[in-house]
Structure 1
Amino acid sequence: MAAKRQPSTERRDEKTMADVTVTHVCDDRFQIETRGHVVLADQPRRDGVEVGPTPVELMVMALATCAAHYAVGYLRAHGVPSEALRVDCRWTMRPEPPRVGRVELVVTPPAGLDPAIRGGLLDAVDHCSVHNTLRQPPSVVVTLSGDVLSERAAG
Structure 2
Amino acid sequence: MNNQITAPAAEEPDHTPLLPASVAQHVDITHISGQAYAVFIRDHELTVDQPFTAGGDDDGPTPVELFVSSLATCVAYYAGQFLRRHHLPYENLRVRCEFDMAADRPARVAAVRLRLLLPVRLTATERRALRAVVDHCTVHNTLRQPPDVSVTVD
- 1:128 offset after TM fit, Å? 0.4
| Partner amino acid, structure 1, of 2:30 | T
1:24 and 2:7 correspond: no
SS at match of 1:82: coil
Q: 2:101 aligns with which of 93, 104, 118?
A: 93
Alpha-carbon RMSD:
1.7
SS at match of 2:65: helix
1:136–1:81 Cα change, 3 Å? same
d(CA) in 1 for partners of 2:153, 2:140: 29
Q: TM-score, normalised by structure 2?
A: 0.80
The CA deviation string for residues 39-96 of structure 1, in whole angstroms up to 9 with x for no partner, is 0001112488411000000000000000000000011111111013211001000130
Q: 2:45 aligns with which of 29, 38, 48?
A: 38
Match of 1:8 in 2: none
SS at match of 1:24: strand
d(CA) in 1 for partners of 2:22, 2:56: 40
Match of 2:150 in 1: 141
d(CA) in 2 for partners of 1:120, 1:30: 40
Q: 2:136 aligns with which of 120, 123, 127?
A: 127
- 1:144 offset after TM fit, Å? 1.7
RCO higher in structure (CA 8 A, sep ≥6): 2
Match of 1:81 in 2: 89
Match of 2:9 in 1: none
SS at match of 2:132: helix
- 1:108 offset after TM fit, Å? 1.6
The share of aligned pairs that are identical, in percent, is 44
> Where in structure 2 are there 5+ consecutive unaligned residues?
1-19
- 1:17 offset after TM fit, Å? 4.2
The CA deviation string for residues 89-148 of structure 1, in whole angstroms up to 9 with x for no partner, is 010001300000000001122232233211111111100000000010000011023xxx
- 1:19 offset after TM fit, Å? 1.1
> Where in structure 1 are there 5+ consecutive unaligned residues?
1-12, 146-155
1:130–1:79 Cα change, 3 Å? same
Query: Is the CA contact (8 Å cut-off) linking 1:18 and 1:34 kept in structure 2?
Result: no
* Of 96-105 and 110-119, the range deviating more from structure 2: 110-119
d(CA) in 1 for partners of 2:56, 2:29: 23
1:64 and 2:72 correspond: yes
